[in-house]
Amino acid sequence: GAGVSQSPSNKVTEKGKDVELRCDPISGHTALYWYRQSLGQGLEFLIYFQGNSAPDKSGLPSDRFSAERTGGSVSTLTIQRTQQEDSALYLCASSGTSQEKLFFGSGTQLSVL
Amino acid sequence: AQRVTQPEKLLSVFKGAPVELKCNYSYSGSPELFWYVQYSRQRLQLLLRHISRESIKGFTADLNKGETSFHLKKPFAQEEDSAMYYCAPHPLSGAGSYQLTFGKGTKLSVIP
């Protein structure tokens, strides 16, 4: 595709429900990142995938958060038993051969009621 | 530990005035430095990186290793510069070397 695609663009859920957020990176990009952007908190790193290597999960805030990347392409971020503090904009980014330059998606705005 | 500080949450300047967005970092080793920008209703995107030594949209950023700073500067601010700016140091090697850490961001508001 032309860019990083995230779906859904908006998600409203009830506290305690599970949600899945999807990211389609730019074709051929080997690195994929998830970030969370909360009001006044800047960008918070969540998880990083690089090729077939074990992901860097050091930024996941709790064990309710998990992510996978199938076939080295599409990634899904899952939040179980959502809490109100999970409400934020979840951003996905990918990068290719120049590892450092990230291309961001438009994000999924998650609202937990 | 990797740490990046953008001391100003909000910076307001008049059109035509110089602007400087501050960024200080704390890293082991020599990082590469990036500035990302997010305009209203647009995606976060790369503005510039220090290794390229380029000027984008009139902005420049100088890496000062002694002060561990990478401040973003523009001599004459324009209204279209109003956006959220994020500093992002990136270590070139070592554990977690691909974890791009962002500062909390500075919202630049250019007053007409």
In chain B the domains, ranked by start, together with CATH numbers, are 3-111 (2.60.40.10)
B34: nearest CB among A35, A59, A100:
A100
**Cα-Cα-Cα-Cα dihedral of B27, B103, B98, A100, to 10°?**
-110
Residue B101 C-alpha, separation from nearest chain A C-alpha, in angstroms: 7
Query: From CA B33, how far away is CA B62, in angstroms rounded?
Result: 9
- CATH architecture under which domain A5-97 falls: Sandwich (2.60)
Q: Are A23 and A108 in contact (CB under 8 A)?
A: no
Among chain A residues, the shortest Cα distance to B106 is held by A42
Q: Residue ranges per domain, chain A?
A: 5-97
Residue with tokens 């695609």: A5
Residue A82 C-alpha, separation from nearest chain B C-alpha, in angstroms: 24
In order along its 113 residues, chain A shows pLDDT tens digits of 579 999 999 999 999 999 999 999 999 898 899 999 987 678 899 999 988 888 889 899 999 999 999 887 999 999 999 999 999 999 999 988 655 688 999 999 999 99
Q: Are A21 and A110 in contact (CB under 8 A)?
A: yes
